[in-house]
C-alpha cells in the first residue's frame, strides 16, 4: 500500500473498485455520481472531460474497503491505528520510523512548465461550492523555530494557474507554524501532496492528542507501512514532498495576504461560508508520468477516516485514566462518540464522558453504554438510553466549551456539549440483566424459503 496504484489493485482484486467508463464532467457530475455511490465501491473515473488522467474518489468512505487495504477487519481498524500510535511513540526518532529521502521520486517524474494547477483535474463538488477544490491533499511544512515536520490535510480552492486559497482551523499545527512565520513577515513554505498512501493519510490526520506539535507524525506512516516513509527533496522549497504521491505542488502561504475562499460543502453536512482566508503562491508542480488524481467527497469519507484516528486516540487516552473501557465509535460525523465501558464504581462513566470530550475537542455529544450493548448499532444505543438513563442523574452538560467552526451550532468558537451516561447503576442489580437466548450456529440448519407460486 505504498502508493495509490497499489491500493487500486488491492481493491480491484477484491471486487471493491468500479471503473466509470463514461465521459464525466468535473463540474458537479463527478460528485453527483460519487454521492449516489457513497459508502460503496471506490470509483475510478477513467474519462474526466478535458483531461488525460483518471480520477479516484471514495477511497475512505467505507471501513470495509479501508480494512481490505490495511489487511484488517473494519472493527479492528481503530485498535490497529491505536497500536501504530503507541509503536511510533516507543520508536520515535529511530531509523525504523524516521522518514527517508528517496532518489528518483515517482512524484517528480514530470515537471509542469509553466506552473499551471488547472492542467490537473480538480472537481467542483457540491452545487454551491465556490470553485474547483483539492479536497484531500497532505500538506507538509517545517516548524519555523525547530524545523520539526508537520503533516496535515487542508482543503484548497483553485483561484489561478499558480494560486490557491485554503482553510486552517484554529488549533491546527500548520496554523501555529504559519502565525509564527507571518509575525516575522515571512511566508510559510509547504508542499501539497495529492494521492498518497492511506498510511500517510492516517499519519496526517492523527489528532494532536496522539501526535503533538513537537513530533514528526510522518513516523506513524512508517509504522503502518512497515518501512520508513519515502520523501522527495523539493525543487523550490525546504519542506519535502511525499515521494510516492501522484503529484506535488510546491508553494508558500503568503504573509499578510487573505483572499476569498469558499463556500465549500463540508463534513458537517453544511456549507462552510466564504471568507477572506490564507493564500498559497505556487512555485513548482511535479507529477508522475501517469498519475491517478485523487479526489474526495466530503461527508462519510471524511468522518470515516477522521473517526478512525479519533477513536484510536480517545481509546488510548481514556484507557490510561480508568479501567473497564472496551471500545469507542464515532457514528455519523466528527461530533459524536459512543464509549463502551463497564464502570468499576459510581461516577466512572461520567468521568469517561469528560475524558472523552478532552481527548477529542470537536465532540459535542458523548454517550456511554455497557459492554453488552453493540455500539455500532444506533438501535442498541437508543435502547440503552431509554432503559438505563435517568435524566435527573445521568446527564452531563458542559456550557460554553470549544467548538469546531464548521458546525452551525458553534457561535464565536463556543458551543454547549452533552453527555449521556447510559450505563447501569453500579453495583449492577439483577433488574438490569438482559434477556438472553441460546447462541446457535445458523449454518448447521437447513433453512428453506417457500418458492413463489
Ligand X SMILES: Cc1cc2nc3c(=O)[nH]c(=O)nc-3n(C[C@H](O)[C@H](O)[C@H](O)COP(=O)(O)O)c2cc1C
In this chain, which of 122, 135, 137, 150 binds Mn ion, going by CB under 5 A? 150
Q: How far is the CB of 353 from Mn ion (least distance, A)?
A: 26
User: Residue 172 binds which one of ligand X, Mn ion, none, with CB within 5 to 8 A depending on kind?
Assistant: ligand X
407 lines the binding site for ligand X (CB under 6 A):
no
Q: How far is the CB of 281 from ligand X (least distance, A)?
A: 18
Is residue 173 near Mn ion by the rule CB under 5 A?
Answer: yes
Cite the beta strand spans of 181-229 per DSSP E: 188-194
Q: Which stretch binds Mn ion (CB under 5 A): 169-177, 241-249, 382-390, 436-444?
A: 169-177
- Sheet of 241-242: strands edge to edge? 100-101, 230-232, 241-242
SS3 at position 45? strand
Is 163 an interacting residue with respect to Mn ion (CB under 5 A)?
no
Choose the binding region for ligand X from 65-73, 201-209, 254-262, 325-333 (rule: CB under 6 A): 201-209
**Do 122 and 129 touch, CB atoms closer than 8 A?**
no
- Is 313 among the residues that bind Mn ion (CB under 5 A)? no
200 binds ligand X (CB under 6 A): no
Question: 365: burial class by Cβ within 10 Å (0-12, 13-18, 19+)?
Answer: middle
With CB under 6 A, what is the number of residues at the site for ligand X? 20
CB atoms under 10 Å from CB of 385, counted, come to: 15
Distance CA 174, CA 183 (A): 14
**Using CB distances below 5 to 8 A depending on partner kind, what does residue 155 bind out of ligand X, Mn ion, none?**
ligand X
For residue 85, give every residue at least 6 positions away whose Cβ sits within 8 Å of its Cβ, in sequence order, or none: 206, 210, 211, 220, 312, 313, 316
**Grid cell in block for residue 447:** 433453512
* Interacting partner of 205 out of ligand X, Mn ion, none (Cβ under 5 to 8 A depending on kind): ligand X
Q: How many residues bind Mn ion (CB under 5 A)?
A: 2
Give, as ranges, the residues between 147 and 176 that touch ligand X (CB under 6 A).
Answer: 150, 152-155, 167-169, 172-174
- Beta carbons of 46 and 20 less than 8 angstroms apart: yes
Nearer to ligand X, 169 or 276 (CB): 169
Task: Tell me the C-alpha to C-alpha distance, in Å, between residue 439 and each of 76, 187, 442.
Answer: 23, 63, 9
Q: Which residues bind ligand X (CB under 6 A)?
A: 136, 150, 152-155, 167-169, 172-174, 205-208, 296, 302, 305-306
Q: Which residues make up the interface to Mn ion (CB under 5 A)?
A: 150, 173
Amino acid at each position: 500500500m505504498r502508493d495509490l496504484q497499489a491500493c487500486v489493485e488491492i481493491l480491484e482484486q477484491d471486487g471493491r473498485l468500479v471503473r466509470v467508463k463514461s465521459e464525466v464532467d468535473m463540474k458537479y457530475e463527478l460528485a453527483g455520481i460519487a454521492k449516489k455511490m457513497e459508502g460503496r465501491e471506490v470509483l475510478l473515473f477513467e474519462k474526466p472531460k478535458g483531461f488525460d488522467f483518471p480520477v479516484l474518489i471514495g477511497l475512505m468512505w467505507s471501513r470495509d474497503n479501508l480494512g481490505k487495504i490495511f489487511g484488517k477487519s473494519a472493527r479492528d481498524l481503530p485498535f490497529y491505528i491505536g497500536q501504530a500510535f503507541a509503536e511510533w511513540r516507543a520508536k520515535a526518532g529511530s531509523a525504523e520510523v524516521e522518514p527517508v529521502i528517496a532518489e528518483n521520486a515517482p512524484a517528480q517524474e514530470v515537471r509542469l512548465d509553466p506552473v499551471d494547477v488547472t492542467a490537473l483535474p480538480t472537481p467542483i463538488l457540491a452545487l454551491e461550492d465556490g470553485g474547483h477544490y483539492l479536497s484531500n491533499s497532505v500538506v507538509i511544512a517545517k516548524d519555523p523555530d525547530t524545523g520539526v515536520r508537520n503533516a496535515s490535510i487542508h482543503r484548497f480552492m483553485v483561484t489561478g494557474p499558480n494560486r490557491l486559497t485554503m482553510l486552517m482551523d484554529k488549533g491546527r499545527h500548520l496554523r501555529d507554524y504559519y502565525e509564527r512565520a507571518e509575525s516575522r513577515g515571512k511566508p510559510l513554505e509547504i508542499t501539497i501532496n495529492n494521492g498518497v498512501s492511506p498510511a500517510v493519510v492516517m499519519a496526517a490526520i492523527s489528532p494532536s492528542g496522539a501526535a503533538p506539535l513537537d513530533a514528526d507524525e510522518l513516523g506513524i506512516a512508517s509504522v503502518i507501512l512497515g518501512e520508513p516513509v519515502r520523501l522527495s527533496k523539493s525543487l523550490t522549497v525546504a519542506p519535502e514532498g511525499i515521494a510516492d504521491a501522484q503529484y506535488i505542488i510546491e508553494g508558500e502561504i503568503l504573509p499578510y495576504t487573505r483572499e476569498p475562499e469558499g463556500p465549500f460543502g463540508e463534513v458537517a453536512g453544511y456549507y462552510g461560508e466564504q471568507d477572506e482566508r490564507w493564500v498559497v503562491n505556487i512555485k513548482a508542480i511535479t507529477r508522475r508520468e501517469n498519475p491517478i488524481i485523487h479526489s474526495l467527497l466530503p461527508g462519510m469519507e471524511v468522518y470515516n477516516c477522521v473517526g478512525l484516528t479519533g477513536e484510536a486516540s480517545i481509546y488510548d487516552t481514556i484507557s490510561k485514566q480508568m479501567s473497564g473501557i472496551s471500545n469507542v465509535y464515532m457514528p455519523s460525523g466528527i461530533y459524536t462518540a459512543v464509549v463502551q465501558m463497564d464502570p468499576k464504581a459510581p461516577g466512572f462513566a461520567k468521568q469517561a464522558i469528560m475524558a472523552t470530550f478532552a481527548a477529542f475537542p470537536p465532540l459535542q455529544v458523548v454517550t456511554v453504554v455497557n459492554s453488552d450493548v453493540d455500539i455500532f448499532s444506533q438501535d442498541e444505543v437508543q435502547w440503552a438510553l431509554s432503559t438505563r438513563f435517568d435524566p435527573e442523574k445521568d446527564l452531563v452538560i458542559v456550557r460554553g466549551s470549544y467548538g469546531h467552526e464548521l458546525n452551525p451550532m458553534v457561535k464565536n468558537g463556543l458551543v454547549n456539549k452533552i453527555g449521556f451516561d447510559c450505563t447501569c447503576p453500579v453495583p449492577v442489580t439483577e433488574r438490569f440483566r438482559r434477556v438472553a437466548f441460546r447462541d446457535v450456529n445458523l449454518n448447521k440448519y437447513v433453512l428453506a424459503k417457500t418458492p413463489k407460486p
